[in-house]
Structure 1
Amino acid sequence: MKNRKFIIICNSIILLWMLISSSCEDMMGHYLDKAPGVDVTLDTIFSTQRNAETFIVNMYKVGIHTDLPKWDDLDGRRDAIYACTTDEAENGASWYWCQNFNNAAQNPNWSGDDGRRWVRWRAIRNTNILLEKINDVPSTEPNFKEQAAGQARFIRALNYFEMLKRYGGMPIVRKSLDMTDDLKIPRSTFAEMVDFIIGDCDTAAMLLPDKWSETFTGKATKGAALMLKSRTLLYAASPLFNSNTPYIDLPGNNDIPTYGSYDKNRWKKAADAAKAVIDWAPSGSIALVTNQGVDKNYRYVWEVPDNQEIILSTKFAGLEGYWYMAFKSINNFYISEAGTSVTFNFVKKYEKIDGTPQNWAPNGGDDLNQKYAELDPRFAQSVAYNGSYWNPDFPSLKMFQGTDEVAANQPPRIGCKGGHWLRKWIPGTLTSSTNAYVNWYLFRLAEAYLNYAEAINESEGPVAEAYDAVNIIRKRSGMPDFPPGLSQEEFRKKIRNERSIELAFEDHRLWDIYRWMIAEEDGVMRGNMWGLNIYRIGTSNEYRYEPYVFETRTFNKSMYLHPMMQNEINKGYLIQNPGW
């Protein structure tokens, strides 16, 4: 397909095919697990530019992950998305890993991150090897070595950031280790880890180009490094980490899971980093999607690969069929599985088109279609609801219950606890007999605007720049500007809701909930999760909705950060996160 491009870090189309179809490890063996001199040595790998490029491809494969379920050694057989751990969504099967979050069943022997935990260390080892060996590569290609080093520093920073948001300060490994090294490296402080990540981002931004040719779509750019810096500093400035009062005291070591102190200037740094992404965007030919119409702009971003808003996306997934896609979303259309349903808790976050809250009656009402029609256009572009189009096989979803034989046995209703299915990520062209690509991205420009609006409000209050940044996001989806004259707290509440809507189901909500420390609020990650029972009113085209509780979730304060693995704690060189 013309719009689908894979990473091509070589000059040969034949080599590209080999990389995609077999992987670097199949071609060269698991060389990272072999002692030098066995089968393939590091000297062999870095003896030619072609071999070094193969190593770089594997560095991407191991070092860049998505939130979409994958059943392989890189993802530990994850079968649900993180949205199912929050008020965004629910997975219909009780045995999926996300339910351990909802039941507060995490423990130091299981955190929900097991499959990827060790892969991150593999990725970091890969990047350290490249940084040590890249200058040995004989290459006459301008900037090859510098750009390779920039990619390694970006991927190393990305993997440390993924650990930072889960654990706080972690052991910092600056070189490739061997068996003669002391492998018991203690945890760094939170500040040290932030500084390490930002240092790699700054260096990567200097070494990487603003953009690559279309042949190399999927490689990290300067913008990706700036975007990672922005996200890191935003998280670091947030209440979970930036506070004089830790969420749970860890006597003598509060500076490991968090800063252990508050500094308002951290918000200023986050705002400056986000603004740097916005200012850079034209150089990278990056811009918000605004030319598809207010009813299509948002969907275009997540459905069309390599569109102008995407700063970095993953390129290792090929065509996928409905059976695999089902684990992300609506299984029960064709096969009996679980699927991801959107909660009524989250649906209520969508404003009306005029920017006011939707008036959902607590005991239900007879105007469901009207309610849906009045919502923010991003609702219909993200959520599959009663009467909406799914694909050629299901042109009008029947999510209602009743005695009608068709409705009672309609597959889309089975297992849908929230009363709505997840639309996002599932292309409308996908059917039981067709395949499709998932356009998963790590960074897009809209996030930079939202990061900027949030950070500058916390730093300076709701100044004009904060309004401008969020209003440009709302305008392209047909939503009105934020009302003028908001207080800092009022703006904070609205920007958090806007972020929840714009970045819905993109692996932001869980981490935003954590960093804002709102998980304990009723209906977020604790308390009642609501769905809708839907009934057709006679033979009309209107429906009655009745909210009902499908689950009561539990959240413990210790869960704001994941536990370190107990078997490593038992070795005596790591400090456990508080509460575990």
Structure 2
Amino acid sequence: MKNMRRFSILGLLILVISTFGCKKMIEDEPLENAEIDLVFDATDSLGKYAEDYLNNTYSSLPNGFNKIGNNMLDAGSDDALPSSTSDAVQFFSNGAFNSVNLPDNPWDANYAGIRKVNIFLANIDRVPLKTAGFKQRWKAEARGLRAMFYFELLKRWGGVPLIGDKVFELGENIAIPRSSYQETLGYIVAELDAIMPSLLSPNGTSGYTTIYFGRFNRGVAMALKSRLLLYAASPLNNTANDLARWDAAAKASKAIMDSVAAGKFVYALSTLTTTAHYSSTNVANLVPAGTTLTSYVTGVNRFLNIFSTRYNTELILPYLRGTTTDVESNNEPIGYTRAGLGKTNPTQELVDEFETFAGKQITEAGSGYTLTSPYYNRDPRLAGTVSFNGLYWLTRNVQTYDGGKDRPQGFGRTNSGETRTGYYLRKFMTPTTSESAYTAANHNFPIFRYAEILLNYAEAQNEVAGPDATVYKAINDIRARVNMPALPTGLTQAEMRNRIRHERRVEMAFEEQRFWDIRRWKIAENVLNGTLHGIQGTLNGTAVSYGIVDAAPSRFSASKMYLYPIPYKEITSNNKMVQNPNW
């Protein structure tokens, strides 16, 4: 933890202007650096600066948009590739990362966040807040954020040094051994349980979707516990398949669902269609006319509105950002005059995962799928996730056939900056009517949303009790939101397990789920050893013919890569630090 020794108190006391409602909570630039006595002012009964300090700590939460060389983290999984062969994120899929060259390395950032929290907790009692309950809630929020920072460390490295409430001074020697996985897990769970009573409840009167949207409330703490215990129960961390762990994970998710059912929490699967991303006119080429077309349009618009609507009750914890254009500029197809970069390129493996609109996998008999029309009559979430040839965007259909506007050099031109797979990212992006200029739009990164809670519950409950009625309901509710048919009845436990994993992949694509799922399930060695694929389109007159092509080799070493290597500088600066196996 060499980097922690470099931080002075002044360097960490960054204050930001904090506004709520329709304005973003987290500002990008510091207002000033200030002394502790100014921040934690013994005469400030409103606690303005102390609250600003706490609000700034929220900026240390994970923000998943194009954070690794302008690429999504999932461009290092089997779901996508970066458009450039030199982008570091693909080191996770080709096995080229190590303790020195680690593209996703938030070790310092999370310990800096933990230090911010500890400074807050050590000093907040000197502020004479006059509003009853605020100080207790602020302390609980800070501890919740700290629990989140430890979880971000745990899922990457396993057990890490636990420092409690200690605030280390400048120049102090820090040599702390790693705690075990179970010790770190236990610490996070204990912190979450302790703060629950002091947190706001996400109900209709607490300001959850207005003034306190984006705060670490009771629902957030329960969502973190749901994900944390699911990871702890998964094969990577539960080699003996202890069903008690699965049961604990199921109960953690069910507690949120029960609070929703009882009207205590306002969470729900969003069915908003505030932004009309698509109409029956511009997707008429993708599904049969009539009721099928109407149902399809509704499904894809509902799905995309989760990510383009600033406030909705599906978002349990978003990373609140200002209105920006960066998601579009980094990811949209390259052939538009506003010159998007097309950075994240979904793989054929991901595209093939989406069922037909009738609910059949494309390899199933009677699915109706053909490579001649590969995107026809598919799950609406495909059009809400991936930009493929013929999908409408802005003022025209995407052209990713060889020589098309969005793939002018054609397949195999890996240095041209265009898609390597024949696909671009569609999810999260909001279209405008202008092809020449970007319009700033809402881009909240969904750290937790209610659909995940249903998926977490279904997975854990299926392992404990098999595919009972509650498992079916959780998955079918998610599918019904986009007008996909219910799962077939009579599935075995193993068949349901595969269905749940399928549903997580298509529902949560590019939300930093797949990257971790293939690790906790211990299937990365299967899906990332071989070749990742794309598609090549050839224009013949007015028709396009398609062929599946190799896009990039993949490699994953099961002996070491399920955990990140401890960063080299931490090994050299802390003589009690032990490296992860085989690194």
TM-score range, shorter chain: 0.7 to 0.9
1:200-219 mapped onto 2 (5 Å cutoff): 200-211=191-202, 212-213=206-207, 214-219=210-215
Shift of 1:14: 11
Are the counterparts in 2 of residues 400 and 534 from structure 1 also a CA contact under 8 Å? yes
1:105 alignment partner in structure 2: 96
Q: Is residue 458 of structure 1 aligned with residue 463 of structure 2?
A: yes
Shift of 1:337: 4.1
1:251 alignment partner in structure 2: none
Q: Which deviates more, 331-340 or 457-466?
A: 331-340
1:184-263 mapped onto 2 (5 Å cutoff): 184-211=175-202, 212-213=206-207, 214-244=210-240, 262-263=241-242
Distance 1:220 1:242, change over 3 A: same
Q: Which runs of no fewer than 5 residues in structure 2 stay unpaired?
A: 1-14, 274-297
Are the counterparts in 2 of residues 167 and 577 from structure 1 also a CA contact under 8 Å? yes
Alignment deviations for residues 155-174 of structure 1 (CA, whole Å, 9 cap, x no partner): 01111111111011111111
Q: Is residue 53 of structure 1 aligned with residue 58 of structure 2?
A: no
Q: Distance in 1 between matches of 2:523 and 2:406?
A: 42
Q: Distance in 2 between matches of 1:509 and 1:405?
A: 30
The SS at the match of 1:84 is helix
Shift of 1:153: 1.4
Q: What letter corresponds to residue 438 of structure 1 in structure 2?
A: H
Are the counterparts in 2 of residues 314 and 440 from structure 1 also a CA contact under 8 Å? yes
1:566 alignment partner in structure 2: 568
2:431 alignment partner in structure 1: 428
Q: Which deviates more, 131-140 or 193-202?
A: 131-140
When normalised by structure 2's length, the TM-score is: 0.83
Correspondence for 2:319 among 314, 318, 322: 314
Q: Is residue 279 of structure 1 aligned with residue 277 of structure 2?
A: no
2:494 alignment partner in structure 1: 489
Q: Distance in 2 between matches of 1:406 and 1:175?
A: 53
Are the counterparts in 1 of residues 332 and 341 from structure 2 also a CA contact under 8 Å? no
Q: Is residue 535 of structure 1 aligned with residue 538 of structure 2?
A: yes
Q: Distance in 2 between matches of 1:534 and 1:380?
A: 18
1:121-140 mapped onto 2 (5 Å cutoff): 121-140=111-130
1:72-87 mapped onto 2 (5 Å cutoff): 78-87=69-78
Distance 1:45 1:326, change over 3 A: farther
Identity across matched positions, percent:
33
Distance 1:328 1:291, change over 3 A: closer
Q: Distance in 2 between matches of 1:67 and 1:20?
A: 15
Alignment deviations for residues 23-64 of structure 1 (CA, whole Å, 9 cap, x no partner): 4x43234x5xxxx68xx5756798861111111111111x21
Q: Is residue 347 of structure 1 aligned with residue 330 of structure 2?
A: no
Shift of 1:386: 1.0
Corresponding residue pairs, total: 527
Shift of 1:228: 0.3
1:361-380 mapped onto 2 (5 Å cutoff): 368=371, 370-380=373-383
Q: What letter corresponds to residue 430 of structure 2 in structure 1?
A: P
Q: What letter corresponds to residue 475 of structure 2 in structure 1?
A: V
Distance 1:186 1:91, change over 3 A: same
Alignment deviations for residues 158-198 of structure 1 (CA, whole Å, 9 cap, x no partner): 11111111011111111132238662111111111111111
2:524 alignment partner in structure 1: 519
The SS at the match of 1:443 is strand
1:299 alignment partner in structure 2: 304
The SS at the match of 1:326 is helix
Distance 1:342 1:444, change over 3 A: same
Q: Distance in 1 between matches of 2:21 and 2:379?
A: 46
Distance 1:13 1:386, change over 3 A: closer
Are the counterparts in 1 of residues 70 and 343 from structure 2 also a CA contact under 8 Å? no
Are the counterparts in 2 of residues 85 and 525 from structure 1 also a CA contact under 8 Å? no
Q: Which runs of no fewer than 5 residues in structure 1 stay unpaired?
A: 1-8, 71-76, 245-261
Q: Distance in 2 between matches of 1:360 and 1:432?
A: 43
1:440 alignment partner in structure 2: 445
Q: What letter corresponds to residue 273 of structure 1 in structure 2?
A: A
Q: Distance in 1 between matches of 2:16 and 2:102?
A: 38
2:12 alignment partner in structure 1: none
Are the counterparts in 1 of residues 387 and 426 from structure 2 also a CA contact under 8 Å? yes
2:244 alignment partner in structure 1: 265
Q: Distance in 2 between matches of 1:12 and 1:263?
A: 45
Alignment deviations for residues 324-369 of structure 1 (CA, whole Å, 9 cap, x no partner): 64334545544374511111111111111222111499xxx99557
Shift of 1:448: 0.4
Shift of 1:313: 0.8
Are the counterparts in 2 of residues 527 and 554 from structure 1 also a CA contact under 8 Å? yes
Are the counterparts in 2 of residues 208 and 221 from structure 1 also a CA contact under 8 Å? yes
Distance 1:165 1:328, change over 3 A: farther
Are the counterparts in 2 of residues 46 and 136 from structure 1 also a CA contact under 8 Å? no
Q: Which deviates more, 197-206 or 547-556?
A: 197-206
The SS at the match of 1:511 is helix
The SS at the match of 1:198 is helix
Alignment deviations for residues 128-177 of structure 1 (CA, whole Å, 9 cap, x no partner): 22222222221111210111012111101111111111011111111132
Are the counterparts in 2 of residues 564 and 577 from structure 1 also a CA contact under 8 Å? yes
Q: What letter corresponds to residue 420 of structure 1 in structure 2?
A: Y
The SS at the match of 1:462 is coil
Distance 1:44 1:125, change over 3 A: farther
Distance 1:13 1:445, change over 3 A: closer
1:555 alignment partner in structure 2: 556
Alignment deviations for residues 408-462 of structure 1 (CA, whole Å, 9 cap, x no partner): 5799996212111110011112754122231311111000000000000111111
The SS at the match of 1:123 is helix
